[in-house]
Structure 1
Amino acid sequence: MFYIKLAVRNFKKSLTNFAPFLLATTVMFAMTFIIANISFSNDLDKLAGAQYAKFMLIAGLVIVVFFSIIIVSYSYRFLLKQRTREFGLYNILGLNKRQISTISFWELVIAFSLTVITGTVVGLILSQFLFLVFTKIIGEAYFNLGISVFAIELSVITFFIIFCLLMCFAFFTIRKHSAISLLKDSSRGEREPRGRLFVAILSVLFLGTAYYMAITIKNPLVALMIFFIAALLVIIGTYLLYIGATIFVLKRQKANKAYYYKPEHFITTSSMLYRMKTNAVGLANITILVTMTFVTIATSVALFVGVQDVIKDLFPKNTDVKVFGSDIKQNTTKLDTFIKDNKLGNKSRLTYSSFSTSTDFQPDQAKHVKITTETSVTKDYAALLFVTRKDMIALGNTIPEVSDNQVLMYNLKSNRDVKTMDWYGEKLSVIKASGKLKNLPNPYNVYITVVKDDQELIKLTDLFNKSNVIKSKDGSTRSQTIIINTDTLFNLSEKNQAILLAKENDTVRVSTKTDVSKMMNGITGGFLFIGFLLGMTFILGAALIIYYKQISEGAEDKRSYRILQEIGLTKKEVKQVIDSQVLIVFFMPIVVSIIHFSAAFLMIDKLIKLFGVSNTSIIAKVSIITIAIISIIYYLIYRKTSKIYYRIVER
């Protein structure tokens, strides 16, 4: 009971020290509970696209838990360093290390209890509000969110484990040090690190490799596979950059006598070198968190905004009725029968036939493309959509004359200058066409190939089907066949859309803009929601690290600047030195983060294109706005925390 009372008294008297730690644990607990409560609520299943949104939310929950461990551990490490002097006094006054550990245990029990109670209350309130935001994002009108008991249990168990880790760390710290070392630990500075050219070179190699991968990769599928490898290289390279490259530069500045022996340079360089080991890790942490904030928010917003344009391109009209078959006339007959049976009539009806395939599409030096059964889809992927000139004219387009064995190709990129194509032995002349075809569903990365007529379309499908019959060793055959789709586009009421969806069968498929929008909003809306929550988590982590750095460095610099004033440095000169150091230390991460994100932009652009978003200008605009907003927030954090630093130093 004595230890509990002592722990409670310590908590009350040292509340200013415990407050940042409690803030970090409470916010991270609330964030974990909010995502878990929405993810595992039965009410989420009532929303369209719930399965996609749930996957995004659970993935985000794993990331938040991981960063909760990092942020809470960082906060507690700082708190423990502030209180080691107090633990040393306890030891001198007669308490042994086991008794001091018991006091620390009960302090953590109190902190855990406050975290769970406060975090649950805050989480319950905010989860209702954020679920309302989430449903608005995905375009739903269902706002009721129940309380998930499993979410509470999961959050409590997760933070119980985190606090157990903190207890182990506290016990280890107390048992490792003597009373004298505990008394001196809070004021112990770091030794001046050695300048390591090898580490600096490694940082350049890691970052250069990651940047090279981001810039040179053309295929979105390949970009997806190596994105996490590139991200890992950037994280390692960032730590090495601060630990090795910055120290190397500071060492070179110190060696430059003309630069070094000036009051503002001498003090700033010496001070940063003296504790650069700890400073470098903190700066790297801030840089990585800010970069991740840029990536998550910019990617999620760009994806959500861009997908809306994709849906418009996919649905010139709100309903697409598709019939599959090998004969265009039979397809048209089935389609007419389906339309007649459902009393849709022919008003505002647009019909066309097509087939599509995916293939490598890289022209050689003679601007010739050869498409065979050996063609792979991993080298230079492209999707080809074949349609007829007659149908495109019926959709309201003006199409030049096309002869036999000749095709018009739209949306052909400048780096694919094709003059001829070998289509499974058939020689085709390719004419590059400009512009965009009206009233034709046009997904990203589809090269629209216009042929002369229905007979030419059927001939090309027959060539594909005959060439893709493969005999196995046992004598059996397997084939990849292309069938022709005949589509009719309508603008129908929601009631008629529902009737058609209920009556689709094996040969008739119905897709509506409403259903596709709900599905895509479930994916991109969940991604956007998680992106903002993760962005908030990352910027909170960066803010906490900045705050702790300002306090710890202010306490360390206070003695140094007092000595400098005593030996003749004016307050104005001290202020200039402080401004110089703070600007370097706290604006370096935002600059490096912007450089990281700029290099990653091309890879992000390719990843977003996997969802059909091909408008790079939208992605660029969203990225610039995101960088501007986060930079302003970062500046406000710097301004607020720098005042704490100045007060400590000038005190």
Structure 2
Amino acid sequence: MKKGFYPKLAFDGIRKNKKMYLPYILTSIGMVMMYYIIIFLQFSQSIRDAVQSSTVTEILGLGSWVIAIFSCIFLFYTNSFLIKRRKKEFGLYNILGMDKHNLGIILFWETLIIAVISLVVGLAAGIAFSKLAELVFLNLLKSDATFDLTVSSQGIGLCAIIFTVINILLFFNSLRQVQFSSAISLVKSEQTGEKPPKGNWIFGILGVLLLGGAYYISLSIKEPLQALTLFFVAVIMVIIGTYLVMISGSVLFCRLLQKNKKYYYKPNHFVSVSSMVYRMKRNGAGLASICILATMVLVMISSTTSLYFGEEDALSIRYPREINIDISTLDTDLEKNGQMDNIISDIKNICKNHDVKGTDAYTYLNGMISGMITDDGKVETDINRIDNFSNIALGDFSSVYSFIFIPVDDYNKIMGTSYTLKDDEAIIYNYRNNSRYKNNVISFNRGQSFKIVKETDEFVIDTNAAISVTPSMALIVNDIDNATKGLTYNATTAQKIENTGINFHRYYCFDTGVSPQHQIELSKDIANYLDGNIEKYRADTSSRMFRSSVESKEQNRLDFFGLYGGLFGLG
């Protein structure tokens, strides 16, 4: 055959069927464009400089894989529709003398032509719109932008690789459908009647039950920890249930309508219901995929929108001051030997070296331990026993709390009050707990009991409680060592209990009134000071445990914008 015969024949085939091929080519161009833009943003130096974190690039990298997988599924679905419509044409070619090898060459050139057009036009569109996407993304990250137009070599290379692989798979899938069909079956492919679809009752009912169960789980969850354990189960149930309902349930529903003679044998219903049965048989899986993908997009957009526009509130709760210091130990030895006062004094000197006067400062000590309120109102703090409770095993964490002991003297200094308490009395403060504690006494299984003399609604919650998924109950007590003695020391032998789960925290938080960059530098200097003296402070404690955390609100604002802005932009 003449040189160029096959390319010309392939091009003519595309041109003559342009009504079918144009939407497919435009879809492919759109996929290439979106993939290039995501890769461009992932490797954008402006975005990396804006957040100074790998969070955004990791999110965009995940997004690129999602788009690649979605592109493969969607292009396979649309390509199978095209090949089905072209089978008659290929059958005529086969009857006129072309063998399957010749048809394979035509398919190869058609795939190559479409792939080249999609890649060239898609990359051109991606390059044209990539800067706009970068500007929008930087705006979401609350960062300044440059207006230099750049081209991502990584984006071009990855687009070429990913979509070349997809088109190769499409070619072999099309070739398979032609190679394993006779010339007669290809010609008569459009005339072949479909067998009446039969819905599977078991799968249809199972799909409805799975969807109902998934929605019940999602609506009945009240506790964050419970959501973590059951959310993934509900998602899997929705995906499987959607496929079963769309593939089997829809056919069963149409069959039930056909059995209803009063409804079915009407001019308006007869043709539509009959055709719907066959359409759902052919397209049920595709419609289910579209439903699931659309739901994922809506969930991601709604959730990331809430996160993005609520990040300032989250920052204020998580970081009550511009600099938040948390010094954690397993005992109160540093408090007793005066070393903690020296640490805070050294921190103040570091602030002076930065010309920073800490304003709105506060400091307090607390002891934190996890526990579960049992049915009789007692608090179980033994972790091994908590794990064995049946309601915990079933995912019910509604009675699990973080209990925080705070000296009344520290509370009075922060809140400007003058409460006095006895050793067996406590004031409680509930954080992230809608119901009030109903008993007048709270008893710990290994500790003492406290009579509740007051429930307050005001306190500065610590940073650990702010990020905890369990509700917190603060107990303001007369003396923290006496209040936690039974939790840290055996009441009979007076020996220290190992691995009690209780941690003591000294919080020192203050505002700086300086620029964001200055604030970040100050927090790094304080962190370096504490890290540099860690062995010294460990030696001054009987537990030999000393940890410190220095967090700057401005640094975490950048991280928040990077995480939530990245997710919002990707959505």
What's the TM-score, normalizing by structure 2? 0.82
What is residue 372 of structure 1 aligned with on the other side? 382
Partner of 2:198: 194
What SS is found at the alignment partner of 2:345?
A: helix
Counterpart in the other structure of 1:451: 476
Equivalent position SS for 2:510: strand
Aligned-pair identity in percent equals 27
Q: Distance in 1 between matches of 2:294 and 2:521?
A: 50
| Structure 1 match to 2:423 | 404
Cα 1:20–1:360, aligned 2, differ >3 Å: closer, same or farther?
farther
Task: Output the CA distance in 1 between the equivalents of 2:120 and 2:184.
Answer: 37
Find the aligned partners of 2:98 and 2:6 in 1 and give their Cα distance.
Answer: 11
In structure 2, the partner of 1:115 is 118
Whether 2:343 is the aligned partner of 1:334: answer yes
Q: In the alignment, which residue of structure 2 is the partner of 1:485?
A: 506
User: Which runs of no fewer than 5 residues in structure 1 stay unpaired?
Assistant: 469-475, 533-651
Task: Tell me which residue corresponds to 1:632.
Answer: none
What is the CA–CA distance in structure 2 between the aligned matches of 1:2 and 1:109, rounded to whole Å? 15
Task: Name the residue aligned to 1:544.
Answer: none
What one-letter code is carried by the residue in structure 1 that aligns with 2:340? N
Distance in 1, matches of 2:41 and 2:277, equals: 47
State the shift of 1:165 in Å.
Answer: 0.8
Which residues of 2 match residues 314-463 of structure 1 at below 5 A? 314-323=318-327, 326=332, 327-328=334-335, 329-343=338-352, 348-355=359-366, 357=368, 359-361=370-372, 363-372=373-382, 374=384, 376=386, 380=397, 381-396=400-415, 402-407=421-426, 408-411=428-431, 412-414=433-435, 417=438, 419-422=441-444, 424-430=446-452, 433=455, 435-437=457-459, 443-444=466-467, 445-453=470-478, 456-460=479-483, 463=486
The separation in 2 between residues aligned to 1:234 and 1:21, in whole angstroms, is 29
Provide the rounded CA distance (Å) in 1 between the counterparts of 2:522 and 2:97: 83
Shift of 1:71: 0.7
Q: CA 1:366–1:224 in structure 2 vs 1: closer, same or farther (change >3 Å)? A: closer
> How much does 1:49 deviate?
4.8
Q: Structure 2 vs 1, CA of residues 489 and 396 (structure 1 numbering), >3 Å: closer, same or farther?
A: same
Aligned residue runs from structure 1 range 100-111, under 5 A? 100-111=103-114
- Structure 1 residues 373 and 205: CA distance shift in structure 2, 3 A: closer
SS of 2:457's equivalent in the other structure is coil
Q: What is the DSSP-based 3-state SS (H/G/I as helix, E as strand, rest coil) of the residue aligned with 2:126?
A: helix
Alpha-carbon distance, 1:73 to partner: 0.7
Gap runs ≥5 in structure 2 = 492-496, 535-547
How far 1:524 sits from its partner (Å)? 1.5
CA distance, structure 1, for counterparts of residue 522 and residue 414 of structure 2: 23
Indicate how the Cα distance of structure 1 residues 158 and 409 shifts in structure 2: closer, same or farther if over 3 A, else same: same
Does the Cα contact within 8 Å between 2:358 and 2:512 map onto a contact in 1?
Answer: no
SS of the residue 1:437 aligns to:
coil
Q: Equivalents in 2 of 1:488, 1:275: separation in Å? A: 65
Structure 1 CA distance, aligned partners of 2:233 and 2:296?
Answer: 15
- Once the 2 structures are TM-superposed, how far is the Cα of residue 467 of structure 1 from its aligned partner? 6.3
Give the conservation status (yes or no) of the 8 Å contact 2:401–2:473. no
Q: Is the 8 A contact 2:368 2:502 kept in 1?
A: no
Select the structure with the greater relative contact order (CA < 8 A; seq sep ≥ 6). Answer: 1
Structure with higher helix content: 1
Q: What letter corresponds to residue 74 of structure 2 in structure 1? A: I
The range that moved more, 123-132 or 155-164, is 123-132
Structure 1 residues 75 and 467, CA gap change in structure 2 (3 angstroms): farther
Look up the match of 1:525.
565
Task: State yes or no: 1:161 paired with 2:172.
Answer: no
1:169 CA displacement = 1.0
| Per-residue CA distance 1:630-650 (angstroms, 9 max, x = gap) | xxxxxxxxxxxxxxxxxxxxx
8 Å Cα contact 1:461-1:482 kept in structure 2 = no
Residues 467, 521 of structure 1: alpha-carbon distance in 2 compared, 3 angstrom cutoff: farther
Deviation at 1:373, TM superposition (A): 5.1
Structure 1 match to 2:212: 208
What's the CA shift for 1:355?
Answer: 2.8
Aligned-partner residue type, residue 430 of structure 2: Y
Contact 1:38/1:145 (<8 A) preserved:
no
1:540 match: none
Contact 2:402/2:472 (8 A) holds in 1: yes
Change (3 A) 1:307 1:429: farther
**Residue 43 (structure 1) shift:** 4.5
Per-residue Cα deviation, 1:374-398 (whole angstroms, up to 9, x for no partner): 3557763433343333333433466
CA shift, 1:70, in A, is 0.3
User: Which shifted more, 48-57 or 502-511?
Assistant: 502-511
Do the aligned residues in 1 keep the contact of 2:369 with 2:501 (CA within 8 Å)?
no
Q: Distance in 1 between matches of 2:167 and 2:483?
A: 66
In the other structure, the counterpart of 1:65 is 68
Describe how 1:104-183 pairs up with structure 2 within 5 A. Answer: 104-143=107-146, 146-183=150-187
Aligned positions, number: 521
Q: What per-residue deviation string (whole Å, max 9, x for no partner) do you get for residues 218-263 of structure 1?
A: 5534533543343222111111112222222222222222222222
Q: Measure the CA separation in 2 of the matches of 1:78 and 1:163.
A: 15
- The amino acid of 1:137's aligned partner reads L
The corresponding residue for 2:297 is 293
Moved more, 215-224 or 271-280: 215-224
Over 3 Å counting, the alpha-carbon distance change for 1:149 and 1:364 in structure 2 is: same
Contact 1:332 1:486 (C-alpha < 8 Å) held by counterparts:
no
Per-residue CA distance 1:164-184 (angstroms, 9 max, x = gap): 111111111111222332233
Question: How many Å apart are 1:499 and its aligned residue?
Answer: 4.4
Aligned equivalents of 2:357 and 2:152: distance in 1? 51
Match of 1:6 among 9, 18, 30: 9
